[in-house]
Structure 1
């Protein structure tokens, strides 16, 4: 059992959404229907028509102690989509490891409307040298709902069961609600409102433009804290590669990269 005060979660993995594409869009990925990664909206897996495995890595502010890596996969079937993944964060003295397993399914109502729902269970394991280790299981809920042919609504709630690694200090519970506007494949505009139970609400926005079918250009911004993001994606058939960079006004730059394999 880990003793002492719990680690600060401000630069932990609880607010990382598992892909350089989402990072480049200012983390405004709640309604992103083609999202991938272990920390994304659990309902996004229901929108997948092909299997996908995603790899993601980032190093916050050039510090090796803040390295993060993840691998995630989604397997769609007629009865729903199963997803799973693992991620790791930290260095020698402090380490977080997460294992996730999720299920998502689309449900129809009326003649043409569909809602996509998802549930993910995540096991959190944290180890601090000199203090020991501990673990907990959190439940995450997701929803995706098409409002119009070009407009989608998304919602994502994390740790709804109130898990805790240290008694009296629950893991961060967050709620994000977002919209995605799509103009074909050429343009996406995303806006999120993100609220951590312990902190003020934040606004997040992202823009994705595809001047060519193979290339996507992205930019984003967040408040609380203020961060500016940008990146590029390459779509090469069954392979998609994404790079992103995030600039924090006081802490500096954070690069990230991800690779998605579809089949």
Structure 2
């Protein structure tokens, strides 16, 4: 957004590294805190059976002091789907520190859709030019958190991230709202979204032109690359805000030489231009 900022990185990455596991796997995750303030990670959507004291929320898990570490021992028990982890104290989430979690099924556990040709993660959320310390200080002085300055997709701004697909193939997009203040709408220009999973639960499969995703939620949709070879906007916009914030990534067809172009308005939900968006039955 044109402003240099300090962000919270994990293993040198922003967003943090993706955690891949299979249902019923045991996860042993050692977190070393190199910040100069206490830090705590939470595992959004994981059930933490018999170890709720490690869910990473204030009151049940003690923050990790500076220059100390804590080892989480979790089990992805009977959950198959899309989740994410995030910092749960001091508005650290406004400076990053989040990442995706994918829990896959075991070979004998059926999934109610064919294996997609690819699997993409979309970590979308609001972003501030102010640091998490500045935002925390505003709250301490009795002020409300201001309107976000913009939106990010996988830690990038406008057209900063690209998803590459092959024509005729179907892909899974795992979408999470990792922001702190704003509900979002997700769509891919010219393409339909088939909702198949919400935070470990396989859903009745319904096709949409766009989907709203609220704070902390994670969805999986199937997208078929059935359009003429080109580049298309992957658009994320804020909901229930004035003005409407927007950002885009790029859906790139592997056999396309045409760059993404055209008005962004064409990639935005119809409800934002006076019409309504309904599921395609």
Give the TM-score of the pair, scaled to structure 1: 0.29
Question: When you count strand as a share of all residues, which structure comes out higher?
Answer: 1
Higher Cα Rg, which structure = 2
Higher relative contact order (CA 8 A, sep 6+): 1
Give the TM-score of the pair, scaled to structure 2: 0.28
